């Protein structure tokens, strides 16, 4: 996945822009989802902190929402905690 994102990554592997095209956006979401530990529960602040470490354009809220909307992350009913989805999508689900 990282190779497909090459034009969107800086020399430290951080996203420099969030792709507009759906397929590349999903590739970016797979990349970001890989930065989280399976089985660990995160607060919103922890999610934002990790996302800030892995992108340069300063919009963790959009990335967090997209990770949730595309089923990479699950969140509690009160939206206070997040974790990687128990049934995450696979690249073939998106024809990547």
Radius of gyration of the chain (CA): 13
Whole-number pLDDT of residue 7: 95
The fold for domain 6-85 equals Arc Repressor Mutant, subunit A (1.10.10)
pLDDT in tens, 36-53: 999 999 999 999 999 999
Cβ-based neighbour number of residue 36 at 10 Å? 19
CA distances from 32 to 1, 54, 78, 88 (A): 10, 7, 23, 13
Asked if the model's pLDDT at residue 82 lies above 90, the reply is yes
Domain ranges of the chain: 6-85
The model carries a pTM of 0.94
The mean of the pLDDT values for the chain is 95
Cβ-based neighbour number of residue 41 at 10 Å? 13
């Amino acid at each position: 996945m990282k190779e497909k994102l090459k034009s969107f990554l800086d020399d430290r592997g951080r996203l420099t822009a969030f792709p507009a095209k759906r397929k590349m956006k999903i590739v970016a979401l797979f990349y970001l989802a890989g930065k989280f530990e399976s089985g660990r529960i995160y607060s919103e602040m922890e999610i934002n902190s990790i996302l800030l470490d892995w992108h340069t354009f300063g919009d963790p809220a959009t990335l967090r929402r997209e990770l949730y909307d595309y089923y990479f992350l699950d969140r509690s009913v009160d939206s206070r905690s997040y974790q990687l989805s128990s049934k995450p999508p696979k690249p073939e689900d998106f024809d990547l």
